[in-house]
A = this chain, B = another copy of it.
Amino acid sequence: MTAPEAKPRPTIKDIAQAAGVGVVTVSRALNDKPDVSEATRARILDLARQMGYRPNRHARFLKLTHNPTIALVIKGIDNPFFQQMLDTMESIVRERNHLLTVVKVPHWADEVEEAITVVDEDLMAGVIFLGGSFTHDAKIFEDLHVPFVMSTVPRLDHVPDGLYSSVSIDDRLEAARAVRHLIDLGHRRIAVLGVPSTDESIGLQRLLGYRRAMADAGLDVDEGLIRSVPHDRSDPYTYEHGYRLAQALLSERPDVTAVFAIADVIAIGAMRAIHDAGLRIPEDISVIGFDGITLGEYVEPRLTTLVQPPDVIARLTCQILFDQIESGPAQHVFIPGSIRAGASTGPARDDGARGALR
């Protein structure tokens, strides 16, 4: 009112800064939405009046907060680990009065292109990418036009840090920890199961972790013990792939004493194949998984695995996305993993040369 026209009119961000709150809070207060205390609402309305705020200029932002959908783009929706994260994310997004739209991307499709389509068709406040391998040129991310976070995706070497946010464990380091667990039990001929054959993302990182742990222990890597899922349009992370890989491994390499499966679902499929071959776990073969899905505590024997905490990752992912929606900077967070000891791993059997003796 008293502000001269030459001075730019205040934006919702200016009010947020003056009030010491986020822009979403300001928007909620101005639009009479819930989840803002009466004191805060009164203070924001006062400030808006004092600063000469006029809402009409911010129609687009207001629209975003009115129809505030978050797109969750998932590769491998069948993975129980992602399910456990989805549950937490959905609750958090709901608490913040947003709606979560789950977009399932087939394993063979390009997740960023899918996200761009979804963002173009619908008004989205932000995007979470869950899983996937990102070998894109940095340029493609510029087409997204909304804040986004990569969750459980390794850092992208070819994309500047400031262009995206990420939350994940250090897949290479944690995979090395899992393999070291087997080495410490006396295992030497350790197979690795489930690396997608052309993978440049999580699968590759976990394989590099395996190589590092073997090298650190002075053990040669036997390339015949690295078993990859076929390169086709199917989801690589399934019980079925674990079953088939283990079945072939057991018949071709009876000298193996332990298996590192790069996902729990692969491990559970492999355990079925080991049972079917008439072998005992862990007396004949030890199995360690990766992810820490709840199911691992129910299978027989209980699965030893590298746990990445789904709740922590889900919460941080949402937190960072909402920070970015409120104009926060890009962030990169690594969460530590840990071994959950089950009954599927034990000391390497004495007759390590079982195969050689046959």
A232 at interface, CB cutoff 8 A: no
| A21 in contact (CB, < 8 A) | no
Q: Is the interface of A mostly helix, strand, loop or mixed?
A: helix
Contact with B along A79-111 (1 / 0, CB 8 A): 010011011001000000001111110000000
Per the bound structure, the CA–CA distance linking A84 and B79 in Å amounts to 11
Partner of A101, one of B102, B275, B294: B102
* A104 proximity list for chain B (CB < 8 A): 86-87, 90, 100
Contact of A118 among B77, B99, B275 (CB under 8 A): B99
Q: Is the CB of A269 within 8 A of B243?
A: no
Q: CB < 8 Å: which of B67, B69, B299 contacts A299?
A: B299
Question: CB-CB < 8 A to A100: which residues of B?
Answer: 102, 104
A59: min CB distance to chain B, Å: 18
Does A29 count as interface, using CB distance less than 8 angstroms? no
- Nearest B residue to A275 via CB reads B300
Inter-chain contact A99/B86, CB cutoff 8 Å: no
What separation, in Å, do the CA atoms of A268 and B302 have in the docked complex? 12
> What's the number of copies of this chain in the assembled complex?
2
A contacts with B, residue count (CB < 8 A): 32
A103 nearest CB neighbor, chain B only: B99
Instruction: Tell me the chain A residues, 289-330 only, with Cβ under 8 Å from chain B.
Output: 294-295, 297-300
- Cβ distance A27 to chain B, nearest Cβ, rounded Å: 16
User: A200 interface residue, CB < 8 Å from B?
Assistant: no
Q: Does A53 contact B (CB under 8 A)?
A: no
8 Å CB contact of A77 from B86, B294, B297: B86
A172 vs B328: C-alpha distance in the bound complex, in angstroms? 54
Q: A67-B122, A86-B77 are in contact. Are A294 and B102 (CB under 8 A)?
A: no
Give residues 99-152 of A contacting B (CB, 8 Å).
99-104, 118, 121-122
**Which listed residue, B78, B101, B269, B272, touches A300 by the CB 8 Å rule?**
B272
Assess the A121–B67 pair: CB atoms within 8 A: yes
Q: List 28 A-B contacts (CB under 8 A).
A: A67-B121, A69-B101, A69-B122, A77-B83, A77-B86, A77-B90, A78-B83, A78-B84, A78-B87, A80-B80, A83-B83, A86-B104, A87-B104, A99-B121, A99-B122, A101-B101, A101-B102, A239-B294, A239-B298, A268-B298, A271-B300, A272-B297, A272-B298, A272-B300, A275-B300, A295-B295, A298-B299, A299-B300
